Chain A
Amino acid sequence: MSFPYPDTAQHSGAPRRSTRHPVEFTGLANEYFRIWIVNLALTVVTLGIFSAWAKVRRKRYFYGNTFIDDTPFDYHGQPLSILKGRIIAALLLSGGSFGAKSSTLLAILFTVLQVIGFPWLVVRSLAFNARYSSFRGLRFRFDGRWQVLLRIYLVWGLATVFTLGALYPSLKARLVAFRMEHHAWGATRASLGLLSRDFYRIYLVGAGLLAAALVALGLVAALLSMTSSQLPAFAIFTSTILFYLIGVLEWAYLNTRITNAVWNALELGPVRFESRLRARELASIYVTNAIAVVLTLGLAVPWATIRTLRYRAESTTVIAYGGLEAFVGVNTPDESATGESIADLLDFDIGL
């Protein structure tokens, strides 16, 4: 794997040989279109029940077409667990809102439950997703606790609200750290550290760019309305399009910079990552996706999904110091079998 990127770790004196494995994505739009449309039709015909199976097939297709070192990922999620999760979530929601209508006490109880329930659901979903994902025969794991996530939401969420959003990068950094650091592949835990400083820099630059773009837009709008006084509709139309374009670019800037910062700082044992997403490219993918989806009344969704995933995969490289072979599992497979069936009763995926 020869790539023109310098290996930073070698410069910093790490003596071990490193291997670069670009992440490859082999999904095809026409193949995925057929899978998507058949599963969608079955979902609608069964009034949504088949959606759990459709979801598993969709995820398997994405995982199975993502390769590192010529080995694909595997997804083993069980449709019945997903269906069960969706039924529970629907019952809780409808029961809750029905109860909330009948009495104020129940309404308060329901609100409290929702506040606690949200981090619980997030953690359960992450755990489910990790446990049913594997690479090279080793399962992933997520062992974050919902109480920790609730504390982050309460402390840093409220701090963000009270500072009118100024502390948002701190909140975001903690959420990302919680999500990443509680993941493990086999026995190897991921480590990330708190990226607050990087996040503050990214959001500050993002806010600056947004302000500059909006000022420029204001000038353009003023100019347009002066020069084309007969065509106010044209001026409004152009300004609206530019406004949305600025929104997409801003979103793409934040998304790509945050993603790059997180993956470039992530460590998984002897493995590092390199993420090279570019805001302009991601924004142009999203804009063309949106146009294609609207013009085809949704039929371009599979094509849009595949090209987005391909871009994201191909912007990532895995750098292994030593081979990937060296990773070990957390326990023997026979041991985990019982534990899994117990967790299966509690675990479900609601697809957040």
Chain B
Amino acid sequence: MIEFNADYFDGRSAERRAVRVRASDTHLHVSGQTVQVAHRIDETSVDTPLARLHRVLTLPDGTELHTADNAAIDALFGHRLPIATGLARLESLWSRALIALAVLGVCIWMLMVYGVPLLARPLAALVPVTVEQSLGRQALASLDGSLCKPSTLEAHELEHLRTLLGRVLVGLDQPQAITLEARNCKGIGPNAFALPGGTVLVTDALAHLGMSDETLSAVFAHEVGHIQRQHAMRMAVQTSLGALLVGTVMGDAASITSLAYTLPTVLLNSGYSRTMETEADEFAYERLREVGLSPSALGDALEALMRAHEKGEDSARQPSERWSDYLSSHPAVEERIRRARGGD
């Protein structure tokens, strides 16, 4: 026969009554100084085990028995709660905790590397074009306020660049209008960017690099690839999703620090951006072929940019400007040049 000590609460008052509970085959016999009751075991409900917590039995009339005697309760009710008992056992063993940690690590890694980019594509497509355009305007405004000044290009130079971009766009199904802007950004050097909302931003230095028309077209094709694939928006969505994932994992510690959110996402972003560069390159090869140009022009463009930036590094540039160096965040430039030429 199973016996245990418990506190009896009748649910009508907060009075605590110490009782002794004896279990027969069918009934729980509760006896104390002011309480003598018996209830059927099969009509009594029990909460699930958790660590050292006391157990609450709810008797058929709604009154409660609280007991710290987990062993007695497991012996009486354990067969009813096979899953919960198993879970409590998992939680009690360090070996299982370490397995959980390993599983968690692998799952989070898979979600971050495969799940988040997969989900970001349809989500980015859901963002209205107007939102994307306003993000692009904000990005341009912040550049205008810090790194960039109005372009010093002549009107005909600008017109020529726009004509080259227009040629790359021939016969392309564009979800958003693609336009070209030029700025004089000393700290950035020769470069081009795809802003969200369909703007290709070209620095004056790029226009002055003396690239052939075909090479410039390749640069534009690459940037158009970023725009067509919504890379800026996808990057934003991925960063938020990553933060959401880490936030969910951190759960109740949400208030502790926001730094813990951003750290892993920053580390992952460099990985995401490399994938996007490859995607834009592949788009460019295809596009260049379609408009009758050679994909190897992208290789020439990358090589020219790399040379120009290496020269820029040699000359006396402020260390604080180096962060913005576009190519330094893409260490596999040689690889990309090789692929552009091999894919001819």
A residues engaging B (CB < 8 A)? 26, 31-35, 37-45, 48, 51, 54, 57-58, 60-61, 64-65, 71-72, 74, 76, 97-98, 101, 135-138, 186, 286, 289-290, 293-294, 297-299, 301, 304-305, 324-329, 332-334, 336-337
| B22 at interface, CB cutoff 8 A | no
- Inter-chain contact B14/A328, CB cutoff 8 Å: yes
20 A-B residue pairs with CB within 8 Å:
A38-B96, A41-B104, A57-B50, A60-B50, A64-B53, A71-B7, A74-B47, A76-B47, A97-B126, A136-B16, A137-B10, A137-B11, A137-B64, A138-B9, A286-B256, A298-B246, A304-B253, A325-B15, A328-B14, A332-B62
- Inter-chain contact A101/B126, CB cutoff 8 Å: yes
Q: Using a CB-CB cutoff of 8 Å, which residues 78-137 of chain B contact chain A?
A: 87, 90-94, 96-97, 100-101, 103-104, 107-108, 111, 126, 128
Against A, the Cβ 8 Å flags (1 = close, 0 = not) of B1-31 are: 0000001011111111000000000000000
B residues engaging A (CB < 8 A)? 7, 9-16, 47, 50-54, 56, 61-64, 66, 87, 90-94, 96-97, 100-101, 103-104, 107-108, 111, 126, 128, 246, 248-253, 256-257, 259-260, 263-264
Residues of chain B contacted by A304 (CB below 8 angstroms): 253, 256
Residues of chain A contacted by B61 (CB below 8 angstroms): 333-334
- Inter-chain contact A41/B54, CB cutoff 8 Å: no
- Inter-chain contact A44/B249, CB cutoff 8 Å: yes
- Inter-chain contact A326/B14, CB cutoff 8 Å: yes
Which of these, B51, B91, B97, B250, contacts A301 with CB under 8 Å?
A: B250
- Inter-chain contact A333/B11, CB cutoff 8 Å: yes
Closest B residue to A296 by CB, please name it.
Answer: B260
Given contacts A37-B101, A325-B15, contact A337 B54 (CB under 8 A): no
Residues of chain B contacted by A334 (CB below 8 angstroms): 61-62
List the 6 closest pairs (A to B, CB-CB), nearest first: A333-B62, A137-B9, A64-B53, A41-B100, A327-B14, A290-B257
- Inter-chain contact B91/A38, CB cutoff 8 Å: yes
Given contacts A34-B97, A327-B13, contact A293 B256 (CB under 8 A): yes
* A-B pairs under 8 A by CB, number: 153
Separation of A334 and B256 alpha carbons in the complex (Å): 42
- Inter-chain contact B128/A101, CB cutoff 8 Å: yes
Separation of A337 and B126 alpha carbons in the complex (Å): 45
Residues of chain B contacted by A327 (CB below 8 angstroms): 13-14
Separation of A39 and B11 alpha carbons in the complex (Å): 32
User: In terms of DSSP, what is the predominant structure of the interface of chain A?
Assistant: helix
Determine how close the nearest CB of chain A comes to the CB of B122; give it in whole angstroms: 12
- Interface hub of A51, A286, A298 (most chain B Cβ within 10 A): A298
Determine how close the nearest CB of chain A comes to the CB of B220; give it in whole angstroms: 30
Separation of A65 and B53 alpha carbons in the complex (Å): 7
Closest A residue to B56 by CB, please name it.
Answer: A74
Separation of A228 and B265 alpha carbons in the complex (Å): 34
Residues of chain A contacted by B56 (CB below 8 angstroms): 74
Closest A residue to B54 by CB, please name it.
Answer: A72
Residues of chain A contacted by B9 (CB below 8 angstroms): 136-138
Closest A residue to B59 by CB, please name it.
Answer: A333
- Inter-chain contact A51/B63, CB cutoff 8 Å: no
- Interface hub of A40, A60, A74 (most chain B Cβ within 10 A): A40
Which of these, B63, B104, B111, B252, contacts A137 with CB under 8 Å?
A: B63
Which of these, B13, B62, B90, B259, contacts A38 with CB under 8 Å?
A: B90
Determine how close the nearest CB of chain A comes to the CB of B5; give it in whole angstroms: 13
Determine how close the nearest CB of chain A comes to the CB of B105; give it in whole angstroms: 9
- Inter-chain contact A290/B14, CB cutoff 8 Å: no
Separation of A202 and B100 alpha carbons in the complex (Å): 45
